[in-house]
Homo-oligomer: A and B are copies of this chain.
Amino acid sequence: MAQTRLNVGLIGAGWIGKVHAEHLAFRVPEVDLQVIADVNEKTAREVAERNRIPKAVADYHDILSNPAIDAIVVSSPTNTHTQIVCEAAQAGKHIFCEKPVDFSLEKIDEALGWVEKTGVKLQIGFNRRFDPNFARIRKAVASFEIGEPHFLHIMSRDPEPVTPEYARTSGGIFMDMTIHDFDMARFLIGCEVIEVFTYGGVRIDPEIGKVGDLDTVLVLLKFEDGTFGTIDNSEKAVYGYDQRVEVFGSKGSIQIANNYPNTAVISDGESIHRDLPLYFFVERYTESYIAEMRAFAQAVLEDKPIPVSGLDGRLAVVMAMAARKSYDEKRPIKLSEIG
């Protein structure tokens, strides 16, 4: 009889690890979350208890060496990703790994090499692909519903900026925030970006500038099929998370609106208004976080192709590097100039 549930170990109990823990424990019927690892064993135990995970360990090698475990979910700090991916592949575990895979293309390539050599499955955590709104756009483009794409516009804004401390190790806005939009751009248009051009500034928090990062960027994309794209990222939309896209093509246009907690519109003596949008990605993308895990588990259980590959993870990193280089050198950068 076919295996119906995947035995999973979760590595990393930081905030995104906590999000995954709750989903894997209660909302993903295809998964049995059996163990969680975190270097801070106390945190691991707390998360385990809250989510009825049978076991908590400090050392993730305990998971990799456990024959009962089929797959791991990697939500540890970025600088540990490739090391864990390499070891997990060698241990024959399937891998779900958070974005970005790494800040170094060499380390990414080594990890992807082990994945290829061992034949394990590797999925990268670009959860937005599983959001019904973005998926609807992809469907429209893929089915030629709006013809050949000519323009792509991504508006992607956070409700509050990262701290300067966070910015110091995040890899910078392109690697940390825009990376989701880079993946979305490739996913939506269904072909590769060949060049980027970047404007960037520090408009929100001067402290972010002092650590060498940006908080307000506009990235222009040129795709190999002739589509032109824009990504605007602001780390502070005072009204809350704002995630919208338009694709314009030879047969029409498709746009998605932002997501709100309800559809109510109030008319009073001051204005016609509605409540602020869902505050941030945890609220907005809950369902897509669950959906990416279900897709991963199903791909492993049914031996189907992984929906977001290691190469997808690598290409988004390349785009982030090119965007930063464009900002630094004040000129359009071909992706072929990178790695």
Interface residues of A (CB under 8 A from B): 26-27, 29, 132-133, 135-137, 140, 145-148, 150-151, 153, 155, 157, 197, 199, 201, 203-204, 216, 218, 220, 222, 226, 228, 230, 232, 234, 236-239, 242, 246, 248, 250-277, 330-332
Q: Say yes or no: A269 contacts B254, CB within 8 Å.
A: no
Q: Say yes or no: B275 contacts A252, CB within 8 Å.
A: no
With known contacts A199-B228, A220-B197, A239-B252, A150–B234 Cβ distance under 8 A: yes
Q: Which 7 A-B pairs have the closest CB atoms?
A: A252-B268, A273-B273, A271-B273, A239-B267, A257-B263, A218-B228, A136-B264
Residues of B within 8 A of A248 (CB): 155, 157, 232, 234, 237
Q: Which residue of B lies closest to A267 (CB)?
A: B239
With known contacts A230-B218, A331-B332, A264–B254 Cβ distance under 8 A: yes
Work out how many copies of this chain go into the complex: 4
Residues of B within 8 A of A272 (CB): 239, 260, 273-277
**Contact of A150 (CB < 8 Å), options: B145, B203, B257, B267:** B203
Q: Say yes or no: B262 contacts A133, CB within 8 Å.
A: yes
Residues of B within 8 A of A136 (CB): 261-262, 264, 275
| Most chain B beta carbons < 10 A, residue from A201, A259, A277 | A201
- In the assembled complex, how far is the CB of residue A201 from the closest CB belonging to chain B, in whole angstroms? 5
Interface of A is mostly: mixed
**Contact of A251 (CB < 8 Å), options: B252, B269, B274:** B269
A–B Cβ pairs within 8 angstroms, 20 of them: A136-B261, A136-B262, A145-B268, A153-B153, A155-B248, A199-B222, A203-B226, A203-B250, A228-B232, A232-B248, A237-B267, A238-B251, A238-B269, A239-B252, A239-B269, A255-B265, A256-B264, A271-B273, A271-B274, A271-B275
Q: Say yes or no: A201 contacts B218, CB within 8 Å.
A: no
A132 to B274, CA, bound (A): 13
With known contacts A232-B153, A248-B234, A332-B331, A133–B239 Cβ distance under 8 A: no
Q: Say yes or no: B256 contacts A269, CB within 8 Å.
A: no
A253 to B273, CA, bound (A): 10
Q: Which residue of B lies closest to A22 (CB)?
A: B29
A230 to B199, CA, bound (A): 11
Q: Say yes or no: A271 contacts B263, CB within 8 Å.
A: no
Residues of B within 8 A of A269 (CB): 238-239, 251-252, 276
**Contact of A268 (CB < 8 Å), options: B135, B197, B251, B264:** B251
Residues of B within 8 A of A263 (CB): 133, 256-259
Instruction: List 20 additional contacts besides A147-B238, A252-B268; criterion CB under 8 Å.
Output: A26-B27, A133-B262, A135-B262, A140-B266, A146-B266, A150-B216, A155-B246, A201-B228, A218-B220, A218-B228, A220-B220, A230-B230, A239-B269, A252-B266, A253-B266, A256-B262, A257-B263, A258-B263, A260-B272, A330-B332
Q: Which residue of B lies closest to A200 (CB)?
A: B228
A197 to B237, CA, bound (A): 26
Q: Which residue of B lies closest to A233 (CB)?
A: B151
Q: Say yes or no: B254 contacts A151, CB within 8 Å.
A: no
- In the assembled complex, how far is the CB of residue A272 from the closest CB belonging to chain B, in whole angstroms? 5
- In the assembled complex, how far is the CB of residue A286 from the closest CB belonging to chain B, in whole angstroms? 11
| Most chain B beta carbons < 10 A, residue from A255, A264, A276 | A264
